[in-house]
Amino acid sequence: MTSKILRFFTATAFALSIAALAQTDANTSALPSAPSAASSPAAASGGTRIATINMEQAIYASNEGQRDLDLLSKKLEPKEAELKSQNDEVESLKKQLDTQGTKLNDDARGTLVKQIEEKQKRLERSVQDAREDAESQRNEVAKKILQKMGPMLLKYAAENGYGLLIDTSSPWPNGPVIWNGPAMDITPAVIGVYNTQSGVAAPVRTTPSKPAAGAPMSKPPAAKPPATTPAPK
């Protein structure tokens, strides 16, 4: 249980539905309203090239994304410590039951079992609440970046002759793309352009980032693309 909690909170990115973030709900829209075909710069340019882009990686591997998620991770550290303490207490009681259970009378054993069950349920509720809160805050980080990255991406597509961009954030079979070669991927180029536009410096880390082992979607490794990256041929 401890490892699951720690994996959950040390992973600075969670599974993110780009489609959900792209909804144009008045209160929760992540991207600006999609431009019409007539007004889209990509449509006006008559682009015919096709490329893939991992939108989740573009968001979280950008300098701004790394910075904001690092700040959020620090903000969540007290909750991680709290849940670890609760989990340690449950594990200690379970160990007590394993080692002393046969020596206890029925009443004492029943009381201990009931105590473990109650604390376990309380812990599970706390983890669920923390997961929902953390996911909500991470989605807010992504929405803020997407609002600025969306128009930049349309401009980039128009300037480089792209008529179709396919998101590869969700691997097949959850996503539509079975496989795509690196030559088709414009994610590093888009990250480089966005970093230049945002003016946010790359985060300085003194220790390597912890891998998000077991997480449904781990944080992409720190990307340090050049200020300007030519579009793939």
pLDDT at 226 over 90: no
How does pLDDT run across 55-91, given as a tens digit for each residue? 999 999 999 999 999 999 999 999 999 999 999 999 9
CA-to-CA distance for 183 and 178, rounded, in angstroms? 15
- Domain total for the chain? 1
Report the share of the chain in percent with pLDDT over 90.
Answer: 56
Q: What's the mean per-residue pLDDT of the chain?
A: 77
Query: Given pLDDT bands bounded at 50, 70 and 90, which one contains residue 103?
Result: confident
Cα–Cα distance list, 161 to 2, 158, 225 (Å):
50, 5, 21
Q: Is residue 215 part of a domain?
A: no
Prediction pTM value: 0.66
Q: Is residue 133 part of a domain?
A: yes
Q: Is residue 101 part of a domain?
A: yes
Q: Is residue 52 part of a domain?
A: yes
| β pairing state of 49-53 and 162-167 | parallel
Question: Which pLDDT value is given to residue 59?
Answer: 96
Q: Is residue 212 part of a domain?
A: no
Report the share of the chain in percent with pLDDT over 70.
Answer: 68
Q: Which two tokens mark 16?
A: 């993110």
Q: Is residue 121 part of a domain?
A: yes
Domain range for residue 7? 2-198
Question: Which pLDDT value is given to residue 42?
Answer: 45
Q: Is residue 233 part of a domain?
A: no
Question: Which pLDDT value is given to residue 206?
Answer: 67
pLDDT at 172 over 80: yes
Q: Is residue 136 part of a domain?
A: yes
